Amino acid sequence: MERWQKILIAVLSAAVVALGAFSFGYSVAGGRDRIFVGDGSGGGDLSLIEDVYGKIKSESVDPPSDEELVRGAVKGMAKTVKSSGDDFALFYSPKAYRSFQEVTTGQFSGIGVWLKDREGRLEIVSVIPSTPAQRAGLQSGDVIDAIDGESVGSLNSDEAVNRIKGKEGSDVNLGIQRDGEAISFDITRETIELPNLLANRTPEGLGYVRLFGFSRGAGDQLRDEVTKLTDEGAEGIILDLRDNGGGLFSEGVSVASVFIEEGEIVSYKERSDPEVSYDAEGDAFEDVPLVVLVNEGTASASEIVTGALQDTNRAVVVGKTTYGKGSVQEVLPLSDASALKLTIGAYFTPDGTQINGTGIEPDVEVDADPGTQKERAKEILQGIIISGTGSQG
């Protein structure tokens, strides 16, 4: 598979509980075989697995099935990769992999909250409007302690997603910590269609676009909305990427290209391969003043867009420092319909900045509630429009 084909379907992001695993950065590749036993020619490394398998089958009083042994071996290898430094390494069972593949469709069966790992805790960063989670009373900042009565322990966001998602009409119980109080929620799962964006004109006549994710079509949808807003008289655009955990790598390039006419959007480096640059796609709204809203929940594909707009002086970035997710995970389908996720590379902003672990600092820091951040973005955009000095003001 060519690199662009892999990157085209790379998913970059924070996890979306019950909506899918926008879990900080994936590409999905095919045509790879799983190997779990060797022929003894590799210095005994793979032959050891074959040796253990044989002894279990011949000596154990009640040996597991071949499928269980193979899955156990694969899970163990994934855990070893994770403990050796790849925080995102994960084995997907066939069921979990099917759930993951729903990510790019924008439709999921679940409860409707954004979830991410924060300092060893599973925290809800936002609740999607008109979803079971909102109706049940879940709130941003809630920490998930238990799922269906079982402690989340060391579950990462991907694993929590797999437990919380489920068939439409089925129930899930969440144990929540909120301001030191333990609360239990019983929530019935529903099919949820997650929109890529919401757009409107503010009372001041500015265009406002809240981008929720980067599933297929996000770039085209944004272009359509910006066209409508400018046709209706909007003189500038606020692009709200707060709590946007990412999505498809290719859509990140397309979204940035709505506002950047030419030049590099992002570069990508995989292992020892040469660095590859991805450029703007053209036909951009390059003269429309632009402000980008970000916070600590802005991750991966959102950071690609933010970094490109900031490095090219195309927009003023307002809010709080972003999450800092600059690596890409590839999801490798396996021969039994399961899959393995591994970190395969890192991406860089046009100025060569690696985001991973540091994030993007805003041009104007607003460490306040979301409403105040948005009002400050309006003020800055109005100032740019009045001064007529372009998007940087």
Tell me the catalytic residues.
300, 311, 325
Structure tokens at 185: 């929620």
Tokens read off for 319: 């809010």
Kindly state the tokens that stand for 79: 């855990």
Angle at 260 between CA 258 and CA 263, to 5 degrees: 135
- Which residue do the tokens 């066209």 mark? 227
Q: Do the Cβ atoms of 151 and 212 come closer than 8 Å?
A: no
What 115-120 contacts at long range (C-beta under 8 Å, 24+ apart), as own/partner pairs, is 115/14, 115/15, 115/16, 115/17, 115/144, 115/157, 115/160, 115/161, 116/14, 116/15, 116/157, 116/245, 116/297, 116/299, 116/323, 117/156, 117/157
Cβ atoms of 312 and 263 within 8 Å: the answer is yes
Instruction: Tell me the C-alpha distance between 283 and 261, whole Å.
Output: 6
Element (H, E) at 126: strand 121-127
